[in-house]
Chain A
Amino acid sequence: MTARRILLIDDEDHIRQVAQVSLELVGGFEVLTAASGPEGIAAASAHHPDAILCDVMMPGMDGPATVSGLRDLPATRGIPVIMLTAKVQAADLRRLSALDVTAVLSKPFDPLTLPAAVKAALGWTP
């Protein structure tokens, strides 16, 4: 079976790198990255990843806007999205879970367990 492909959208270069290493080396996923919402939507339409990990706070198009952009396109509509956020206040989390997303994971994440959390959220058997 080929590795699952995950698209990682985050404007923070360092976080992107760390998460990519974690998802690739620990989780064994194939990882695509994008540094902004529009870039992410373009990548998703072009590569049809199995899932998308998307940051919430991004300049310009933020996470929720990116999600609705993804949902507007037929090609990306069905791809499950997991939000990654450094905002953990109850009100923030409520707003996020109201979006059409599979899960909300909080930052900072543990790179050793992040892939397992992603798999659990998506219902992928290890």
Chain B
Amino acid sequence: MEHERRFRQASVGVAVTCAGLLAWLLSGAGSPQAREVVSDLGYLAGSFAVAVSCGLAARRQRPPHRRPWLLLCGTGCAWTVGNVFWFHRRALLGDLSFPAPQDAFYTLALVLGVASLVSFLTVALRRASPVRLLLEAVTIALSLIFLSWALVLEDVFHAAGVDGLGRAVLLAYPAGDIVLASLALFLAARSRRSARRQFGLVAAGFLSYAVADSLYAYLGVIGRFAMGTLVDLPWIAGYLLVALAGLAAQGGGAEVEEDAEERDDRSVLRELLLYLPTLLAIGYATVNDLRGDVLLIGTGLAILLLLGARHALMVAEALTMTRTLQATVALRTSELRSILDSAAEGIYGIDLDGRTTFVNPAAATLTGHEVGELRGRRQHHIVHRARPDGTPYPYEECPVTASLRDGVASDVSDEVYWRKDGSSFPVEYTTTPLVQDGAITGAVVTFRDVSDRRATERAKDEFTSVVSHELRTPLTSIRGSLGLLAGGVLGALPEQAQRMLDIAVSNTDRLVRLINDILDIERMESGKASLAREHCSAADLVAQAVEVVQSMADGAGVEIVTRPVDARLWADPDRIVQTLTNLLSNAVKFSPGGGTVSVVVARQNEDVLFSVADQGRGIPADKLEAVFGRFQQVDASDSRDKGGTGLGLAISRSIVAQHGGRIWVDSVMGEGSTFSFTVPGLLEELPAPEVVPGAPLVLVCDDDPSVLEVVGAMLHRRGFDVATADSGEQAVRSARDRRPDIVLLDLLMPGMSGWETVAALNAHPDTEGVPVVILSVLSAVDAGQSAVAVADWVDKPIDDGLLFDALERALRGGAGARRVLLVEDDLDLAQVITATFARRGLETFHARSGREALRLSQRVVPDLLVLDIGLPDHDGFTVVEWLRTQERLHQIPLLVYTARDLDEADRRRLRLGETTFLTKGRITPEDFDRQVTGLLERMTGARAEAATR
């Protein structure tokens, strides 16, 4: 940044200096002597700036980038020394003889300048065909010779009054300038993008210098050269531009590192730069009469020839490139073909109509068809025509068709494909829509025969089950007989015999535990054990676990101290108790007699933390992680001495991981160990909301005062305003006075019955529009009174979810704004979706996390849940599992959208009401909108149907 700022300041300085100089030179102000001194000083300062700036640039560079800058620095030095001589001889000695010592330095500078440009070109040239580069360079040079000869060189060449050396030096200037200018132009046109600025400046500087130099030679020859004239400007500007280039050069040689990502950035303008001298030469030739000038005509012809050659070369290069590309495409195609041909999976593509466009040999082999038989026909009708049970499988219901229609990819694992011979095989397939420019053009289906895998899975399950059974059966007899003997049921035994039997019993128990643990861990790690989560209290779980190990602790003389906090969890209670029991029994086993094992439960942010601490011998630091592995006791003798199976901690770790928690151990040798694990906590109980002004007023009418009290409290907690009536008569009066928003009415009441009350309410103009929700032990069907219009019906005993649901519906008038609960952690996306829903008249409640979603769903009963899988805290699975346990929420239609591909098992876990899966990135906003609308419409239909039932 600092570098860039300095460069900008210097650029402005150079521009201002040049503009000032131009203005001053044009104005003609000052005496000729003063003007000469100013231009002398300008030369000195400019050339010195080149030496310094390029010297510094060279210091910043690494080889090989240092060399050209060093050469440029040398050029600047040579210029400076030349200028000093010039100043000394002209201004102080008044000696204007030619050639003079300064000319030696100027010539040296020319040579060094050319060398630096060549050096730049070698490190900075883009990759291109060397022949073409040569042609281009020669074309530029010839064009410049043409121009120079026409404008300057010829006159200099024929100049009289200069001796042999003088003429040679004089000629060296324009000739060297031609080389300089050619190289500079070439550098500007062909340098890499990253180094363009510095090389552009070098090029511009040398061009400017070359023009001034040639002018000097020309004017000198015709005897009209004078200091303090416009000739000074290109000279000084040339110096300053090269000095600026030195400033522009970044350190390090970054352009080499960027080489890899260098793109072909040729532009028409940069190509034209190469032709600039040629164009100028042509322009000159057009305006002037060249007849008779053999050199010019010869040069012009040579230029034309070179241009023709370059063009031919470029055409040849283009042709070669096209051929190479074609060959590459053919090669890739054949590679793809062989991949398709050699794939063990069946792969076929279909068009929008479901007809096969390509099919690989495996697909044909797997289905028992010839490739030709499959092509061009609707694949579904050949291999997918029936479901596993043999019933027809309509084309419209096939997931492959759905992917053509909706652009949604899906993985299907519970279907079969049919072979040509009429047999079928279990198949797993993936259907992926092909999308081109936003439009679906077809789909690719990849499938594999999973018969073997299914058979293996079945065999493994069966084996596990049989082994378990076969081991247990003899153990049952052994354990039973030993137990009867050891328990003294068959009479008392000698002490030693009793001890032996006790050993036999305890080891039989250990063997049984071992079998259980092995089965347990096998099931858990194969993902077969699913969690049965429910609300539980941490204190209860700890109490249960302590109860299990209490007798063992008593036997060992170990005291168990618990300090639980009453935290609530959303977990599988059996599994958590199993984990706690494992940790507790370990702690007891490793505690010294008289020791204490303490259990602590604490909230840790949103998690619940369980810790079990013992005062045992501790675990070495290098084993802290290993103890959670299978059969990883710290000491090999532990399994014998302590009677453990060696699997307890491994099982605990699996359980905790399945809950989305973490387990670890802290230990101090000789002082004890603390095993801790976390389980995601459940949201805190919601405080009862205040009754806000304008809250809906519910009139509750029931002859049972306890119902009034309970329902009143429930409604209050939900933020409703409540009025009560203990009879129909009172309800009718109260309704006229207080105008409730809704009436909650019992049917069976002494005096005026519920139905009579409804009639009375409807008969009065003040109360006739008030929706009535019946609250009764009679179900709507039993009551058989559907003729009387009531808004809704809630059965007793009251389920608060259903009650609030009914109230919300009645308040909305049955068809008010629908509510969508959107669970999405990406705020931007959420805003977009909310806006889309708002346009459809949907009210959106946005939850940023699973936790917030659970909290919101206790407050609002949504008509639709839109869920992003992959939320930060509780993942979407937990949200759905929790909602499923909620009576009023378990039938909500659900729209799951996710960036990850869900397999069939995932999808099963995510079902709620009608459930639709969308994959992010494979669905357009319009599709999304359409799916939501469809779900809502179907849901409305379903509700209307339920209401008429």
Q: Is A90 on the interface with B (CB-CB < 8 A)?
A: yes
Minimal beta-carbon separation of A57 from chain B (angstroms) = 6
A26-B489, A107-B473, A108-B475 given; A86·B484 CB < 8 A: no
A22-B489, A108-B472, A112-B487 given; A15·B477 CB < 8 A: yes
Q: Is B516 on the interface with A (CB-CB < 8 A)?
A: yes
Minimal beta-carbon separation of B492 from chain A (angstroms) = 14
Report the Cα distance A110→B505, complex, angstroms: 10
One digit per residue, 1 when the CB lies within 8 angstroms of any chain B CB and 0 when it does not, for chain A 24-44 equals 011000000000000000000
Report chain A residues within 8 Å CB of B481: 14, 18, 111
Q: Tell me which residues from 455 to 472 in chain B have a Cβ below 8 Å from any Cβ of chain A.
A: 464-465, 468-469, 472
Q: Give the residue name and chain of the A residue nearest to B483 (CB).
A: A111
Minimal beta-carbon separation of B622 from chain A (angstroms) = 36
A25-B484, A86-B469 given; A18·B519 CB < 8 A: no
Report chain B residues within 8 Å CB of A92: 465
Minimal beta-carbon separation of A71 from chain B (angstroms) = 24
Q: Tell me which residues from 488 to 529 in chain B have a Cβ below 8 Å from any Cβ of chain A.
A: 489-490, 508, 512, 516, 519, 523, 528-529
Q: Tell me which residues from 88 to 115 in chain A have a Cβ below 8 Å from any Cβ of chain B.
A: 88-90, 92, 107-112
Q: Is A87 on the interface with B (CB-CB < 8 A)?
A: yes
Report chain B residues within 8 Å CB of A86: 468-469, 472-473, 476
A18-B480, A22-B484, A110-B479 given; A90·B469 CB < 8 A: no
Q: Give the residue name and chain of the B residue nearest to A114 (CB).
A: B480
Q: Are A12 and B489 closer than 8 Å at their CB atoms?
A: no
Minimal beta-carbon separation of A104 from chain B (angstroms) = 14
A21-B489, A25-B489, A26-B487 given; A88·B468 CB < 8 A: yes
Minimal beta-carbon separation of A90 from chain B (angstroms) = 7
A18-B476, A89-B464, A90-B523 given; A57·B489 CB < 8 A: no
Q: Are B487 and A111 closer than 8 Å at their CB atoms?
A: yes
Report the Cα distance A88→B468, complex, angstroms: 8
Report chain B residues within 8 Å CB of A88: 468, 472, 516, 519
Q: Tell me which residues from 30 to 69 in chain A have a Cβ below 8 Å from any Cβ of chain B.
A: 57
Minimal beta-carbon separation of B793 from chain A (angstroms) = 33
Q: Are A89 and B489 closer than 8 Å at their CB atoms?
A: no
Report chain A residues within 8 Å CB of B516: 88
Q: Are A111 and B469 closer than 8 Å at their CB atoms?
A: no
Q: Are B487 and A108 closer than 8 Å at their CB atoms?
A: no
Q: Are A15 and B468 closer than 8 Å at their CB atoms?
A: no
Q: Are B484 and A15 closer than 8 Å at their CB atoms?
A: no
Minimal beta-carbon separation of B463 from chain A (angstroms) = 12
Q: Tell me which residues from 516 to 549 in chain B have a Cβ below 8 Å from any Cβ of chain A.
A: 516, 519, 523, 528-529
Report chain A residues within 8 Å CB of B475: 107-108
Report chain B residues within 8 Å CB of A15: 473, 476-477, 480
A25-B489, A89-B464, A89-B465 given; A109·B476 CB < 8 A: yes
- Among candidates A14, A89, A107, A112, residue contacting B519 with C-beta atoms closer than 8 Å: A89
Q: Are A14 and B477 closer than 8 Å at their CB atoms?
A: yes
Minimal beta-carbon separation of A113 from chain B (angstroms) = 9
Report the Cα distance A14→B423, complex, angstroms: 47
Q: Are B489 and A112 closer than 8 Å at their CB atoms?
A: yes
Q: Are B480 and A111 closer than 8 Å at their CB atoms?
A: yes
Minimal beta-carbon separation of A82 from chain B (angstroms) = 15
Q: Is A6 on the interface with B (CB-CB < 8 A)?
A: no
Report the Cα distance A111→B483, complex, angstroms: 6
Minimal beta-carbon separation of A54 from chain B (angstroms) = 14
Minimal beta-carbon separation of A29 from chain B (angstroms) = 14
Q: Are A110 and B489 closer than 8 Å at their CB atoms?
A: no
A111-B484, A112-B483, A112-B489 given; A89·B468 CB < 8 A: yes
Report the Cα distance A26→B485, complex, angstroms: 12
Q: Give the residue name and chain of the B residue nearest to A14 (CB).
A: B477
Q: Is A19 on the interface with B (CB-CB < 8 A)?
A: yes
A12-B473, A86-B473, A88-B516 given; A19·B480 CB < 8 A: yes
Interface of chain B, helix or strand or loop or mixed?
A: helix
Q: Are B519 and A12 closer than 8 Å at their CB atoms?
A: no
Report chain A residues within 8 Å CB of B465: 87, 89, 92
Q: Give the residue name and chain of the A residue nearest to B480 (CB).
A: A18
Q: Are B512 and A108 closer than 8 Å at their CB atoms?
A: yes
Q: Which of B476, B478, B479, B508 has most chain A Cβ within 10 Å?
A: B476
Q: Give the residue name and chain of the B residue nearest to A113 (CB).
A: B483
Q: Are A108 and B484 closer than 8 Å at their CB atoms?
A: no
Report chain B residues within 8 Å CB of A107: 472-473, 475-476
- Among candidates A18, A57, A112, residue contacting B477 with C-beta atoms closer than 8 Å: A18
Q: Are A87 and B489 closer than 8 Å at their CB atoms?
A: no
Q: Are A18 and B484 closer than 8 Å at their CB atoms?
A: yes
Report chain A residues within 8 Å CB of B528: 90
Minimal beta-carbon separation of B298 from chain A (angstroms) = 98
Q: Are A108 and B476 closer than 8 Å at their CB atoms?
A: yes
Report chain A residues within 8 Å CB of B469: 57, 86-87
Minimal beta-carbon separation of B461 from chain A (angstroms) = 8
Minimal beta-carbon separation of B730 from chain A (angstroms) = 47
Q: Give the residue name and chain of the A residue nearest to B472 (CB).
A: A86
Report chain B residues within 8 Å CB of A108: 472, 475-476, 478-480, 508, 512
Q: Give the residue name and chain of the A residue nearest to B477 (CB).
A: A14
One digit per residue, 1 when the CB lies within 8 angstroms of any chain A CB and 0 when it does not, for chain B 175-193 equals 0000000000000000000
Q: Which of B473, B474, B480 has most chain A Cβ within 10 Å?
A: B480
Report the Cα distance A88→B464, complex, angstroms: 11
Q: Which of A19, A88, A109 has most chain B Cβ within 10 Å?
A: A88
Q: Which of B469, B478, B523 has most chain A Cβ within 10 Å?
A: B469
Report chain A residues within 8 Å CB of B519: 88-89
Report chain B residues within 8 Å CB of A22: 480, 483-484, 489
- Among candidates A89, A109, A110, A111, residue contacting B523 with C-beta atoms closer than 8 Å: A89
Report chain A residues within 8 Å CB of B472: 86, 88, 107-108
Minimal beta-carbon separation of B468 from chain A (angstroms) = 6
Q: Are A25 and B480 closer than 8 Å at their CB atoms?
A: no
Report the Cα distance A57→B471, complex, angstroms: 13
Report the Cα distance A18→B523, complex, angstroms: 31
Q: Are B473 and A111 closer than 8 Å at their CB atoms?
A: no
Report the Cα distance A89→B480, complex, angstroms: 21
Q: Are B529 and A90 closer than 8 Å at their CB atoms?
A: yes
Q: Are A21 and B484 closer than 8 Å at their CB atoms?
A: yes
Q: Are B476 and A12 closer than 8 Å at their CB atoms?
A: yes
Report the Cα distance A18→B490, complex, angstroms: 12
Report the Cα distance A18→B482, complex, angstroms: 9
Report chain B residues within 8 Å CB of A19: 480
Q: Give the residue name and chain of the B residue nearest to A16 (CB).
A: B477
Q: Give the residue name and chain of the B residue nearest to A56 (CB).
A: B469
Q: Give the residue name and chain of the B residue nearest to A84 (CB).
A: B476
One digit per residue, 1 when the CB lies within 8 angstroms of any chain B CB and 0 when it does not, for chain A 1-24 equals 000000000001011001101100
Report chain B residues within 8 Å CB of A26: 484, 487, 489
Report the Cα distance A109→B487, complex, angstroms: 14
- Among candidates A57, A87, A109, residue contacting B480 with C-beta atoms closer than 8 Å: A109
Q: Tell me which residues from 316 to 340 in chain B have a Cβ below 8 Å from any Cβ of chain A.
A: none
Report the Cα distance A89→B518, complex, angstroms: 12
Minimal beta-carbon separation of A126 from chain B (angstroms) = 17
Report the Cα distance A107→B515, complex, angstroms: 12
Report the Cα distance A112→B488, complex, angstroms: 10
Report chain B residues within 8 Å CB of A89: 464-465, 468, 519, 523
24 pairs, CB–CB < 8 Å, chain A vs chain B: A12-B477, A14-B474, A15-B473, A15-B476, A18-B477, A21-B484, A26-B484, A26-B487, A86-B468, A86-B473, A86-B476, A88-B516, A88-B519, A89-B465, A89-B519, A107-B476, A108-B478, A110-B479, A110-B483, A111-B480, A111-B481, A111-B489, A112-B483, A112-B484
Listed in ascending order, the chain B residues whose CB lies under 8 Å from chain A are: 464-465, 468-469, 472-481, 483-484, 487, 489-490, 508, 512, 516, 519, 523, 528-529
Q: A15-B477, A18-B480, A86-B476 are in contact. List 17 more A-B contacts (CB 8 A).
A: A15-B473, A15-B480, A18-B476, A26-B484, A86-B468, A86-B469, A88-B472, A89-B465, A89-B468, A92-B465, A107-B473, A107-B475, A108-B479, A108-B480, A111-B483, A111-B484, A111-B487
